[in-house]
Every structure is written in structure tokens, then in C-alpha cells.
């Protein structure tokens, strides 16, 4: 039986090791690598993957059991997507600082308290992207500071309605669906959050 205790697991029989690395493409946001790796049985094979700077997603909570959501056109899938505020880490930027910046820029809101939920590996088959999940509460509205060329709508949504939208397929964004798991369990009091004042590490 598999025990999901990281301390008890030995991964040596599963681990692949780098043999040779080749940079295929360098863009403004992403890099593409092709690595030659040695498998646990000693054979060599290739792994192509996208190198991503990392990101933060924020679950903004209002006091009346509502959350703040965005609707934004996502070109690769050619549709408007419902999602939580999120954005990539700038070079050397802490995940919390990124979340605070993105929440303000995209929605105009600041939060007085923040709680770190955990991290999400978004696309483990072809990317090293890690998204850090934060909750934010004590929201105070203000002016948005959208980047040039950024267009999105912001709306409040009751938590039960949001969870139902996840169930029915209206919400398809992977990071937002992962956040829904955290939100439902925190809202129902099953998972605890360690809240810290804004500006705390």
C-alpha cells in the first residue's frame, strides 16, 4: 500500500538524472529545454519541457461569503476564462509580494490579511511551473492598475455559486479548480489557514 508520507518515501528507484542539457528557445516569458536524462535502469532518453518563472494565485475573500473572480480572454484556448487573480513572479520576487501586486493591479483591491495555502505544479508533464496559492481577506477596493494590453472583468461571486460553476464545467482553469478544493475545505472549517497581517513574511 502506498503511504503518502514524504518522509517515509524513498525515491531513488524512480529518479531520473540530468546527462546533458540543450536550450531550444528563449522567449520573453518562457524557455524551452531539451534534456537528455538517465533513467533508473541506466538508459538514456529525452525530456522536452517549458521553463517558467513561477507564479502566484490569490483567493480573495469578502466577509459575506463571496469571492472575487476575473473573466479574461486567454488566447491559446481562444475563449474567455473564469479564474482567480494570478500572475507570474518577477525576477527575485517573493510569492506573497507577487500576489499582493497582482491583486492590486488586476482588481484594485488590497487585503489586510494573507494566508499561504501551498503550491501547485500546474503541468508536470511538460513544464516546471509552480504556482503559490494564497488566501486574502480584509479587502479594500481602489483603482485597478492594469498593464498595457491587459483587459479583464472583475466580479464578486457567492462561494456556493462558484463551487457549482466548478462542478458544471463553467470553470475549467486548472489553478482555479485547485483553489476551489482549498476554498471549499477552508470555508467548511475542515482545513485551517494561518492568517498573517499584510507585509508579514
pLDDT class of 150 with cuts at 50, 70, 90: confident
Say if residue 63 is in the same domain as residue 83: yes
- Look up the pTM and report it: 0.91
Say if residue 77 is in the same domain as residue 39: no
Residue 116 has pLDDT above 60, yes or no: yes
Evaluate whether residue 73 is within a structural domain: yes
Task: Return the pLDDT at 29.
Answer: 87
Say if residue 70 is in the same domain as residue 109: yes
Q: Could you tell me the residue range of the domain that residue 30 belongs to?
A: 17-51
Say if residue 110 is in the same domain as residue 35: no
Spatial strand order in the sheet of 110-121:
86-88, 55-60, 130-140, 110-121, 196-197
pLDDT class of 140 with cuts at 50, 70, 90: very high
Task: Return the pLDDT at 3.
Answer: 64
Q: Using the 8-state DSSP alphabet, how is residue 122 labeled?
A: S
Average pLDDT over the chain, rounded to whole?
93
What would the pLDDT profile of 157-181 be if each residue is shown by its tens digit?
999 999 999 999 999 999 999 999 9
Say if residue 72 is in the same domain as residue 106: yes
Say if residue 26 is in the same domain as residue 99: no
Instruction: Tell me the percentage of the chain whose pLDDT exceeds 70.
Output: 95
Please tell me the distance from the alpha carbon of residue 152 to that of residue 72, in angstroms, as a whole number: 5
Evaluate whether residue 3 is within a structural domain: no
The residues, ordered by sequence, that sit 6+ positions from 154 with a Cβ below 8 Å of its Cβ are 68, 69, 70, 106, 107, 108, 144
Evaluate whether residue 128 is within a structural domain: no
- Active-site residue, selected from the candidate residues 20, 113, 148, 188: 148
Task: Return the pLDDT at 148.
Answer: 83
Task: Return the pLDDT at 147.
Answer: 80
Average pLDDT, stretch 106-131? 96
Say if residue 38 is in the same domain as residue 107: no
Evaluate whether residue 8 is within a structural domain: no
Residue 14 has pLDDT above 80, yes or no: yes
CATH of the domain at 110: 3.90.79.10
Average pLDDT, stretch 58-86? 97
148 flagged as catalytic: yes
Amino acid at each position: 500500500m502506498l503511504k503518502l508520507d514524504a518522509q517515509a518515501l524513498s525515491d531513488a528507484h524512480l529518479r531520473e538524472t540530468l546527462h546533458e542539457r540543450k536550450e531550444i528557445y528563449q522567449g520573453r516569458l518562457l524557455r524551452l529545454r531539451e534534456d537528455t536524462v538517465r533513467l533508473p535502469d541506466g538508459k538514456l532518453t529525452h525530456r522536452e519541457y517549458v521553463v517558467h518563472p513561477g507564479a502566484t494565485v490569490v483567493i480573495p475573500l469578502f466577509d459575506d461569503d463571496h469571492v472575487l473572480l476575473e473573466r479574461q480572454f486567454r488566447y491559446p484556448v481562444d475563449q474567455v476564462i473564469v479564474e482567480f487573480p494570478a500572475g507570474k513572479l518577477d525576477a527575485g520576487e517573493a510569492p506573497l509580494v507577487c500576489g499582493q501586486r497582482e491583486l492590486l493591479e488586476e482588481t484594485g483591491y488590497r487585503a489586510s490579511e494573507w494566508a499561504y495555502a501551498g503550491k501547485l505544479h500546474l503541468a508536470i508533464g511538460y513544464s516546471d511551473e509552480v504556482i503559490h496559492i494564497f488566501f486574502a481577506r480584509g479587502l479594500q477596493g481602489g483603482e485597478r492598475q492594469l498593464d498595457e494590453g491587459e483587459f479583464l472583468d472583475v466580479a464578486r461571486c457567492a462561494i456556493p455559486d462558484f463551487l457549482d460553476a466548478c462542478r458544471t464545467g463553467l470553470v475549467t482553469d486548472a489553478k482555479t479548480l485547485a483553489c476551489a478544493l482549498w476554498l471549499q475545505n477552508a470555508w467548511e472549517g475542515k482545513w485551517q489557514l494561518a492568517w498573517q497581517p499584510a507585509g508579514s513574511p
